[in-house]
A and B are shown apart, each in its own frame.
Chain A
C-alpha cells in the first residue's frame, strides 16, 4: 500500500526557512518513472504545484512566482524534503506531497502521469 505523510512546523516566522518532509511507503523513488511532487493550497484557494523530484534525481520547480525552493530526496529513508527560504505570510497554506505515477494507454507510446496518491497535507502558518 502506497502512503505519503507530510511533517514539519505548523508555524514559521516571516523571513525564516520552512523545511517540510514527505515520508513515503509502498514504493521506491529509485524505481524508473517514479516521481514525487509538492503542492500547496492557501486557505480557500486553488491548488498550486511547487516542485518535483524524479527517480533519476532531476528537480523541477514552479516558475511563478520565482522563489527559493529546493527539493531533495533521501532514498535510504524514503523521504523527500522541500525547503523554502524567506517565507512570508502569503506562504500560509496546506502543503501536500503526492506521488506522480504513470500509465501507458493502449496504442500509445507516451507516459500519462497523474498524482495518484496524496498525503493528508500539513497546514503551515507564516506569522510573527
Chain B
C-alpha cells in the first residue's frame, strides 16, 4: 500500500495568512493526488484533483502543486470558512489511501 504523510498535523494561522500544507507519498504517484476539506460534523469535500486541478466551485485562493512523491496545498489568503481539516489522498493505485490530516486552526 502507498502511505501518505502530511505535515504539519496541525497549524495555527490568522485570516489573511498564506498557508501551505505538504503531503508526501511513500512511492511515486505521478500527479494522482487529491485534496479534501472536512469541517466538523460534515463529510469531506474535494478541493483539488490531479494534484493541481481545482474542482468546480472551489475558490481560486486554493491551489495545489507537486508530482512524484511531494505535493503541496496552498491557501493564498485564509478566510474564516477555511478553518477545517485537510486530507490528501492518492488515486494512483488501489487500495486508496489518505494522509492523516492537517487541522487548520485560528
Show the binding face of A for B, using Cβ within 8 Å: 37, 46-49, 52, 60-64, 96, 98, 100, 103, 105, 110, 112-116, 118-121
A118 to B100 CA separation, bound complex (whole angstroms): 19
Residues in chain A near residue B96, CB distance under 8 A: 37, 49, 52
**For residue A47, which residue of chain B has the nearest CB?**
B98
A115 to B45 CA separation, bound complex (whole angstroms): 8
Q: Tell whether, in the assembled complex, residue A46 and residue B100 are in contact, meaning their CB atoms are under 8 Å apart.
A: yes
Q: Tell whether, in the assembled complex, residue B91 and residue A113 are in contact, meaning their CB atoms are under 8 Å apart.
A: yes
A59 to B40 CA separation, bound complex (whole angstroms): 31
Residues in chain A near residue B89, CB distance under 8 A: 47, 49, 114-115
Which of B15-23, B47-55, B74-82 contacts the other chain?
B47-55
Residues in chain A near residue B1, CB distance under 8 A: 63-64
Q: Determine chain A's interface SS by DSSP, over half rule.
A: strand
Q: Tell whether, in the assembled complex, residue A114 and residue B101 are in contact, meaning their CB atoms are under 8 Å apart.
A: no
Q: Tell whether, in the assembled complex, residue B94 and residue A60 are in contact, meaning their CB atoms are under 8 Å apart.
A: yes
Q: Tell whether, in the assembled complex, residue B98 and residue A49 are in contact, meaning their CB atoms are under 8 Å apart.
A: yes
Q: Tell whether, in the assembled complex, residue B34 and residue A115 are in contact, meaning their CB atoms are under 8 Å apart.
A: yes
Interface centre among B32, B44, B95 (most CB of A within 10 A): B95
Residues in chain B near residue A49, CB distance under 8 A: 89, 95-98
Interface centre among A47, A63, A105, A115 (most CB of B within 10 A): A47
| Listed A/B pairs (20) with beta-carbon separation below 8 Å | A46-B99, A46-B101, A47-B36, A48-B98, A49-B96, A49-B97, A60-B94, A61-B95, A63-B1, A64-B95, A100-B91, A103-B53, A112-B32, A112-B53, A112-B91, A113-B49, A115-B34, A115-B44, A118-B45, A120-B42
A81 to B42 CA separation, bound complex (whole angstroms): 22
A121 to B43 CA separation, bound complex (whole angstroms): 7
CB distance from B99 to the nearest CB of A (A): 7
Nearest 4 pairs of A and B residues by beta carbon: A114-B49, A118-B43, A49-B96, A112-B50
**For residue A52, which residue of chain B has the nearest CB?**
B94
A37 to B42 CA separation, bound complex (whole angstroms): 17
